[in-house]
Amino acid sequence: MFGGFPAVLRYLPTLAIAGAVLFAFWWLLDLVQDNADLQHTIELEKRSRHAAELALQQAEDALAVHRIYLDQSEDREAQYRALISELGQMEGYDAPLSSFLSNAVDRLWP
């Protein structure tokens, strides 16, 4: 009845070692695949970070240009205010325009 059973027991250590070797091989392949996936993910993240750094640099450059433009605008505004103040203090500032100048102004700025 149990005549074949001792033969199976005789091969059990060999089967256990073969199973362990197969499991170790499968585990090693899984580690290699995980490593490849992680390397790919790292490469994608590096590219994404590089693109974000470039966008940040472009935004900083645009901000610098915008600040220069704002500084120049403030300087121009100060110059125009000084000019208007100077003209307002001149004699005859509030005098009416001659008819010739009045017609010229009406044609230039209708």
**What's the Cα-to-Cα distance from 106 to each of 52, 96, 103, rounded to whole Å?**
54, 14, 5
**What pLDDT, on a 0 to 100 scale, did the predictor assign at position 15?**
87
**What pLDDT, on a 0 to 100 scale, did the predictor assign at position 65?**
97
**What pLDDT, on a 0 to 100 scale, did the predictor assign at position 89?**
84
CA 97, 102, 105, 110 dihedral sign is positive
**What pLDDT, on a 0 to 100 scale, did the predictor assign at position 5?**
61
pLDDT in tens, 66-86: 999 999 999 999 999 999 888
- Which has more confidence, 9 or 53? 53
**What pLDDT, on a 0 to 100 scale, did the predictor assign at position 1?**
45
pLDDT in tens, 5-51: 666 677 888 889 999 999 999 999 999 999 999 999 999 999 999 99
Contact yes or no for 87/93 (Cβ under 8 A): yes
Report the distance separating Cα 97 and Cα 107, nearest Å: 14
